[in-house]
Amino acid sequence: MRKKIVAGNWKMNKTPAEAAALAQLLKPKMENDKAEVVFCVPYVDLIPVAEVIKGTNIRLGAENLHFEDKGAYTGEISAPMLKEIGVECVVIGHSERREYFAETDETVNKKVKKALEYGLTPIMCCGESLAEREDGITIEKIRIQIKKGMKGLTAEQAKQVVIAYEPIWAIGTGKVATTEQAQEVCAAVRGVLGELFGSDAAQEISILYGGSVNAGNAAQLFKMPDIDGGLVGGASLKEEFEAIVKSY
Ligand code: 13P
């Protein structure tokens, strides 16, 4: 059975004190024995949030990392730094990082490998723009992102990766993909994973949907056969996140 995961991506929200308060508010509401719950939070919030969620089922995630261990990379944070403070997961290649911070499939690939080297679970993002969907090239785009992002991994390594399919046009817009659209692309992701790593490995990889997930649509999305949970932005900062987590 594939792992079911509901991950919150807090993006660039919450100061350390606010983050600790939000984690405290959500903590008693996150119990779930069917799905893993992850809080992916800004770097400076990691330590205070780690303190709050200690001893619970909530796992700690970062939103990015650098692909080298250390060195002259001003402003960056490495995998061993994250590992040491108890981070277990890391979002890699979010469309916002690709768009605003020039991340490419090549840097995504390096970051995925570095995360795996340190035993961090990469949550590798993919997704098409509205123009790509309208041009009918959604599946091609996703296949390229998966192939390049996971280039050089063994099947054993691939099984440690979590994929998040996030159509860019659905992020923060309130325009959620229909369950059929989301399922179609997640099934295609599993298809390409099968070509690359074999169908047994592909069956074990969790694929999340992200983009305007909320308390009203989560249960329908999570029921789809190739959707194994969600990567939730805005709604993960509110008490509403409880209902999303409990959609499993
Ligand atoms: P929203 O849930 O706010 O649309 O954000 C989705 C997302 O980008 C999660 O990584």
Backbone angles phi, psi at 162, to 5 degrees: -110, 135
Across the range 69-83, mean pLDDT stands at: 98
Which pTM was predicted? 0.98
Q: Whose CA is nearest to atom 2 of ligand 1?
A: 233
- Under 8 Å between Cβ of 156 and 205: no
Measuring from each residue's beta carbon to the nearest atom of ligand 1, which residues come in under 6 Å?
Answer: 9, 94, 166, 171-172, 210-213, 231-235
DSSP string for residues in 4-22:
PEEEEE--S---HHHHHHH
- pLDDT band at residue 53 using 50, 70 and 90 as cut-offs: very high
CA dihedral 37, 41, 45, 46 (to 10 degrees): 60
Q: What pLDDT is attached to residue 83?
A: 98
Give the residue numbers marked as catalytic.
Answer: 94, 166
5-245 is classed CATH 3.20.20.70: yes
DSSP string for residues in 135-149:
TT-HHHHHHHHHHHH
pLDDT of 1 over the 90 cut: no
Tokens of 176: 């959620």
**Ligand 1 centroid from CA 148, angstroms:** 23
Number of C-beta neighbours around residue 72 at 10 A: 6
CA-derived radius of gyration, the chain? 17
Residue of 13, 100, 124, 212 to test ligand 1 pocket, by largest number of atoms within 8 Å of CB: 212
pLDDT in tens, 201-227: 999 999 999 999 999 999 999 999 999
Residue of 99, 130, 171 to test ligand 1 pocket, by largest number of atoms within 8 Å of CB: 171
Cα separations (Å) of 86 from 32, 46, 53, 59, 60?
21, 9, 11, 9, 7
Ligand 1 atom closest to residue 234's alpha carbon, by position in its atom list: 3
Strand runs (DSSP E) across 10-166, as ranges? 36-40, 58-62, 89-92, 121-126, 162-165
pLDDT in tens, 9-27: 999 999 999 999 999 999 9
Nearest to 54 by CA among 76, 39, 42, 70: 39
Residue of 40, 94, 232 to test ligand 1 pocket, by largest number of atoms within 8 Å of CB: 232
Say which amino acid occupies 17.
A
**Ligand 1 centroid from CA 221, angstroms:** 14
pLDDT in tens, 146-190: 999 999 999 999 999 999 999 999 999 999 999 999 999 999 999
Q: Whose CA is nearest to atom 7 of ligand 1?
A: 233
Tokens of 221: 């999305």
